[in-house]
Chains A and B, each alone.
Chain A
Amino acid sequence: SAVISQKPSRDICQRGTSLTIQCQVDSQVTMMFWYRQQPGQSLTLIATANQGSEATYESGFVIDKFPISRPNLTFSTLTVSNMSPEDSSIYLCSVAPGTSLEQYFGPGTRLTVT
C-alpha cells in the first residue's frame, strides 16, 4: 500500500477563483489519479497523471479547467480553475503502487464554492 496526504483538507472559495490541491505519496509511483466525488454521488475519474507526460483526461474534463502537474514520482497537483458552485465536491488523489491492481486513496479535499 502507500501513505497519501492531501493539502488542503478543506477550503471555501469564491466563484471565479482557482484552488490548487496537492497530493504527496510516501513512495515513488508511476500512476497517480485524480477523482471527484460530488455530493451524494460516486467517485468519477478526472484524469490520470503519469510522471514525465501530459495528463490524460476523461470525457467531460478538460485541461483548461483542471490543469494537473506531475513534477516527480511522489507529488502531483490538481488546480480547479475559475470555480463555480457546481465545482463543490470532494477531490481525491489515488495511486497504484508498483504492479498493484489496487488503488490507494488520499483523505480528500472538501471544496465548497460560494
Chain B
Amino acid sequence: DQQVKQNSPSLSVQEGRISILNCDYTNSMFDYFLWYKKYPAEGPTFLISISSIKDKNEDGRFTVFLNKSAKHLSLHIVPSQPGDSAVYFCAASARSGSARQLTFGSGTQLTVLP
C-alpha cells in the first residue's frame, strides 16, 4: 500500500515556464512533508519542506503548497531552468517512537526544455 503517491512519472516543460509537481498521501499521521531532487549517480538533495500547520512555504523559485483536507501537496518551480531537470521525490514524515521516518513517493522525472 503506497502511502505517498506521485502519479506522474514524467513531466516536460519549456524553460522559463512553471513546473508543477504533484504528490498525494493517505496517512493522516504525516505531519511534515519534503521535496528532494535527485540527479543520476548522486544522492537525493533536500529542496524544500513544509509543516502540516502551514499551507505554503516559499524559497526562491520553489514553492510548496499543502492541502491537508485533500491530502495533497505540490511543488511549483518558476521560472523553470534546464538545470532543474532531475527526478523529484516527495517524502512525508511521521514520528515513530524516538525517530522520524521518511516515506517516499515514486518520483517524477522533470525535463526542462531549452
Binding site for B on A (CB under 8 A): 1, 4, 31, 33, 41-45, 48, 50, 56, 92, 94, 96, 101-108, 110
Given contacts A33-B102, A106-B43, 6 further A-B contacts (CB under 8 A): A33-B101, A92-B44, A94-B43, A101-B93, A103-B34, A103-B46
Is A108 touching B89 in the complex (CB atoms < 8 A)? no
Complex formed: what's the CA distance from A1 to B36 in Å? 14
Is A101 touching B32 in the complex (CB atoms < 8 A)? yes
Residue of B nearest to A53 (CB): B98
Q: How many residues of B contact A (CB 8 A)?
A: 23
Complex formed: what's the CA distance from A106 to B51 in Å? 24
Name the B residues within 8 Å of A41 (CB-CB): 106
Complex formed: what's the CA distance from A107 to B38 in Å? 10
Asked whether any CB of chain A lies closer than 8 Å to the CB of B100, the reply is yes
Asked whether any CB of chain A lies closer than 8 Å to the CB of B25, the reply is no
Residue of B nearest to A107 (CB): B43
Name the B residues within 8 Å of A107 (CB-CB): 41-43
Binding site for A on B (CB under 8 A): 32, 34, 36, 41-46, 49, 89, 93, 97-107
Is B46 touching A104 in the complex (CB atoms < 8 A)? yes
Is B101 touching A42 in the complex (CB atoms < 8 A)? no
Residue of A nearest to B2 (CB): A42
Complex formed: what's the CA distance from A1 to B43 in Å? 14
Complex formed: what's the CA distance from A102 to B102 in Å? 9
Is A1 touching B106 in the complex (CB atoms < 8 A)? no
Given the known interface contacts A102-B46, A107-B42, the answer about A42 and B104 at a Cβ–Cβ threshold of 8 Å is yes
Name the A residues within 8 Å of B41 (CB-CB): 107-108, 110
Given the known interface contacts A48-B99, A96-B100, A101-B100, the answer about A42 and B46 at a Cβ–Cβ threshold of 8 Å is no
CB distance from B5 to the nearest CB of A (A): 10
Complex formed: what's the CA distance from A45 to B101 in Å? 8
Which 4 residue pairs across A and B have the least CB separation, nearest first?
A105-B43, A43-B104, A42-B106, A42-B104
CB distance from B98 to the nearest CB of A (A): 8
Complex formed: what's the CA distance from A56 to B46 in Å? 24
